[in-house]
A and B are shown apart, each in its own frame.
Chain A
Amino acid sequence: MDRIGIVLVGAGFIADAHSGAIDADPRAELIGIVDAAPGRAAAFARKQGGIRHALDLDTALSWPGVDAVILCTPNDTHAPIGLAVAAAGKHLLVEKPLATTVADAQRLARAFEAAGTVLVAAHTHRFYDYGVAVKQTIDSGAIGRPKLVRLAILGGWIWPDWSAWVGDPDRSGGHALHNGVHLLDLATWWLGQEPTAIYARGRKQTAAELRIYDYLEMVVTYADGATAVCEMSRAHRPGSLAQRELLVAGTEGIVEQGWDGESSLVFGEAGTATLPAAGGNGFAKQLGAWLDAIGGAPPQMPVADAVRAVVLGVAVEESIATGRPVAVTA
């Protein structure tokens, strides 16, 4: 069987996670790298053993053996680059969010449907060990009908400096779109319900001059009355102590994972830090699911769910701006 030839677009830090996943899957082959910064593309290509590199997508799409693209560029470029990939008849795995506006997300969905190629947004937490284990526990019926999800991902680190594109809401769409969608999608997937309203609060804790909220609290209400309380933070201190906490309460029981449910704790001269367990490779599982879908299997991250995540992320920003709950329909 021929391997799926993949081009990576964007040589930022997340590209390493994707290329590692490609290396680990015998069904995939990394053909080349595209980055608008010449030095960065060339350096990445050398690191990968001399793969092709280019400054523009059109060149890369013309390379022989290219079947698919993994897109790791700033969020505001997802729509135009994604539409070009669809027009070229290639498959796409796009970093989350699918797009920074609902209209663009829907445009991408339509384009790939028309092209007959597979579009998947990288909501990687669906493929992390904890995300899968919670989903399986809920689906097993062990806790009955879930009524509440609490999910907090608290990391003290902040983006590198003021030039980081993530801090520019025009480029990232804001923190709700950039990271918040991970939690919004995961909680919604776990619950298996349609969201009906969002109430959110945001905070610029690290610096008043931030243009995005480094702390987000996003509360989703679902059609069956369930609630999800999702906290996404880059504001918590100390930065050395990343924490993830979850609680799911159902009609027959509860599921919990505290901050120490997966991590060990290091007490050192340099401070205190959590040490996450090695566990499975979420990026590899995500890639595998995408390759499965290219082969005809049902997608584990349907396009409609990626569009819905954008709808929710946009509603979060609107709720914070207005101080009011926002009705949502995916």
Chain B
Amino acid sequence: MTITVALVGNGGIGTQDHQSSMYGPAFERHPLFSLVDDPAAAQVLSIAVPLAERGAAIADAVRAGKHVLADKPLAATLAEAVEIERLAAEHGVVVVPAHHQRFNAALRSATAAVRAGRVGLPWNVQCDFVVAGGDPAPTGELVNFGLYPVDVVRALLGLEVRRVHATGSPDLVTLLLDHDHGVTSTIVCGRVPALRDLPPGGLAVHRYRISGSHGVLAVDARKPALQVRTTESNGLVWTGPGTVDALLDVLAAGIASGAGRAAIGPHDAVRAQRVIEAAQRSMETGQPVETGE
């Protein structure tokens, strides 16, 4: 018995169509889901409408009792994201924001290792999330994909972000985050021009260094991959399930549990959005900003 899914929307930020490029194909190949045309007949709606309309579309779906896979960011504003979190709890449906990078195989192992004390007590994380080429986001890249590394760092540490200082530009920003226990993290996030041998919009750099009292964990999140060099090209070829496939596993498990929640939910989107909005205020004022967490 599979879970029925309808694809809703083909929009996003700027020219994005993650529905066609990511979610649709992933649902199609996933053994636990089957696509249907009629949203009313579907148990899950995969919602990828333009950001300005997204919060309302997700809220409507939740009110209709649908589970949701939501393109990222979950909503355009923190207030909308908070309302979706409240509605999802009220209606007992699973809402999974597409923070799929935290389900990278290397990062899942890293998260488990950090939480198991493999580097002792973590005290700092350094992250670079640098995309090459593709269409620049009209919102700026902080809004577009800043939430990915923020979400990964939250998952790695299990610690909320209390304070944000941001510098740089909206297309290449440096976020300096303060967590509890004096733990700090730094995220460089943005887009550089297209680079040879990288697909447009591919990750040129995606790495994490987690420093702990008893060791260091260095994660290259462009892996697991093969390095393939030919007379024509030189590049990495991903091995194993992709991050969106893993995200759908989480969605399916959340629905199967009957508990109305998955391993990632609207609360994660709310917390990421708080950090992004604090970073925007910090960029405007030049000063660190409390997230209010």
Residues of A within 8 A of B (CB): 144, 147-148, 150, 152, 154, 197, 199, 201, 203, 205, 215, 217, 219, 221, 225, 227, 229, 231, 235-238, 241, 243, 245, 247, 249-254, 256, 259, 323-325
**A237 and B186 within 8 A (CB):** no
Counting chain B residues whose Cβ lies within 8 A of the other chain, the interface size class is 35 or more
Q: Nearest CB to that of B193 among chain A residues?
A: A252
Q: Which of A154, A203, A227, A259 is in CB contact (< 8 Å) with B168?
A: A227
A323 to B165, CA, bound (A): 10
Contact indicator A256/B205 (Cβ below 8 Å): yes
B195 near A325: Cβ-Cβ < 8 Å: no
Contact of B172 among A148, A199, A205, A324 (CB under 8 A): A148
Tell me the minimal C-beta distance from A268 to chain B in angstroms.
Answer: 17
In the complex, which of the residues B182, B188, B214 contacts A148, with contact meaning CB atoms closer than 8 Å?
B188
- A325 close to B123 (CB less than 8 A): no
- A217 pairs with B184, CB closer than 8 A: yes
Question: Given A217-B184, A225-B169, are A249 and B288 neighbors across the interface (CB < 8 Å)?
Answer: no
Q: Which residues of A contact B123 (CB under 8 A)?
A: 203, 205, 215
**Contact status B214-A237, CB under 8 Å:** yes
Choose from B128, B167, B214, B288 the contact partner of A150 (Cβ within 8 Å).
B128
Rounded to whole angstroms, the CA-CA distance of A262 and B81 in the bound complex is 46
8 closest pairs, A vs B, by CB? A227-B168, A221-B167, A227-B174, A249-B192, A227-B167, A201-B184, A147-B172, A199-B165
Residues of B near A215 (CB, < 8 A) are: 123-124, 211
Tell me which residues across on chain A come within 8 A of B192, comparing CB atoms.
249-251, 253-254
The CA of A252 and the CA of B194, in the complex, are separated in Å by: 8
Q: Can you list 13 A-B pairs with a CB-CB distance of less than 8 A? A: A150-B128, A152-B209, A203-B182, A205-B213, A221-B167, A227-B174, A229-B188, A237-B212, A249-B172, A254-B192, A325-B165, A325-B286, A325-B288
Instruction: Knowing A249-B130, A323-B288, A324-B288 are in contact, say whether A254-B165 is a contact too (CB < 8 A).
Output: no
Per-residue A-contact encoding for B193-226, CB less than 8 Å = 1, 0 else: 1010000000011000101111110100000000
CB distance from B170 to the nearest CB of A (A): 11
Residues of the B chain whose Cβ atoms lie less than 8 Å from the Cβ of A250: 192
Question: With the chains together, A251 CA to B192 CA distance in Å?
Answer: 7
Q: Is the CB of B215 within 8 A of A229?
A: no
- Report yes or no: A199 in contact with B204, Cβ–Cβ below 8 A: no
Name the residue on A nearest B212 (C-beta).
A237
Residues of B within 8 A of A217 (CB): 124, 176, 184, 186
Kindly provide the distance from the CB of B236 to the nearest chain A CB, expressed in whole angstroms.
Answer: 14
- A325 CB to nearest B CB, Å: 6
The smallest beta-carbon distance between B129 and chain A, in angstroms, is 12
Q: Of all chain A residues, which has the CB nearest B171?
A: A147
Closest partner residue, chain A, to B220 (CB atom):
A258
Do A254 and B130 have beta carbons less than 8 Å apart?
A: yes
- In the complex, whether B126 has a CB less than 8 A from a CB of chain A is yes
A175 to B214, CA, bound (A): 22
A254 and B286 form a contact (CB under 8 A)? no
